[in-house]
Chains A and B, each alone.
Chain A
Amino acid sequence: DVKVTQSSRYLVKRTGEKVFLECVQDMDHENMFWYRQDPGLGLRLIYFSYDVKMKEKGDIPEGYSVSREKKERFSLILESASTNQTSMYLCASTWTGIQPQHFGDGTRLSIL
């Protein structure tokens, strides 16, 4: 079975902090994604990566950056956390080609 693991289920941080969310997949997937999920807005793509050190902006990249130094790990970074970044963050991965995404369990992030 595909396993996508997000490092924290719940996280509470303060405004202005630099926040790191980590995601690891064990299936040698080329593509990895970060989404945020808010009530009524569905899943919105923040960034995705199609290879090591490669990244593409999604629909809402402002205030975020990403890092992919190894194929299995994709990190989301909130450079200076703000309260409007309180949300559920979901990581997903898939192979290249027409293959479905597999999601992690999510990180519920609260910025106080």
Chain B
Amino acid sequence: GQQLNQSPQSMFIQEGEDVSMNCTSSSIFNTWLWYKQDPGEGPVLLIALYKAGKLTSNGRLTAQFGITRKDSFLNISASIPSDVGIYFCAGQLTGNQFYFGTGTSLTVIP
């Protein structure tokens, strides 16, 4: 199956810093999704993006659905210790076709 190119693989940042990660694909998607996974837990949906070119915010999180529909980025502003985890992007083609990135592991140093 197809995997999306997600970068960076890991990040170590100081508390209070902003974070940026992105996801690219050779395929066009109808939806981009961003999930966060805490250790030992299942992924939790953070943001769903439905319209190309649009910026969507959820608290300190901002994500964009790239205009080409082949990429997306996620920004986290003013990071805090509970932001630690693995962040996954996913592209969706149809109701049952989802493709996932390999994840960005985020460590926040207090």
**Chain A interface (Cβ < 8 Å from any Cβ of B):** 4, 6, 9, 30-31, 33, 40-45, 48, 50, 56, 58-59, 90, 94-106, 108
Residues of A within 8 A of B98 (CB): 33, 45, 101
Report which of B1, B48, B50, B102 forms a contact with A40, defined as CB distance below 8 A: B102
Docked Cα-Cα span, A9 to B39, in Å, equals: 12
Question: Does the CB pair A31–B102 fall under 8 Å?
Answer: no
**Known pairs A98-B30, A100-B48, A106-B40; A58 contacts B1 (CB<8 A):** yes
Proximity bits, B32-70, A CB within 8 Å = 1, else 0: 010100001111110010100000000000000000000
Residues of B within 8 A of A43 (CB): 88, 100
Residues of A within 8 A of B44 (CB): 103
B interface residues, tally (CB under 8 Å): 25
Residues of A within 8 A of B50 (CB): 98
Given contacts A43-B88, A90-B43, 14 further A-B contacts (CB under 8 A): A31-B96, A42-B101, A48-B96, A58-B1, A90-B42, A97-B95, A98-B95, A100-B48, A101-B90, A101-B98, A102-B45, A103-B43, A105-B41, A106-B42
Question: Does the CB pair B40–A108 fall under 8 Å?
Answer: yes
Residue ID in chain B nearest A59 by CB atoms: B1
Residues of B within 8 A of A45 (CB): 1, 98
Docked Cα-Cα span, A59 to B3, in Å, equals: 11
Question: Does the CB pair B102–A98 fall under 8 Å?
Answer: no
Task: Provide 15 A-B residue pairs closer than 8 Å at the C-beta atoms, listed in order of the A residue.
Answer: A6-B42, A42-B100, A43-B88, A45-B1, A50-B96, A95-B95, A98-B31, A98-B50, A98-B92, A99-B95, A100-B90, A101-B98, A103-B42, A104-B42, A108-B40
**Chain B interface (Cβ < 8 Å from any Cβ of A):** 1, 3, 30-31, 33, 35, 40-45, 48, 50, 88, 90, 92, 94-96, 98, 100-103
Docked Cα-Cα span, A99 to B40, in Å, equals: 25
Residues of B within 8 A of A56 (CB): 96
Docked Cα-Cα span, A41 to B98, in Å, equals: 15
Residue ID in chain B nearest A43 by CB atoms: B100
Residue ID in chain A nearest B33 by CB atoms: A100
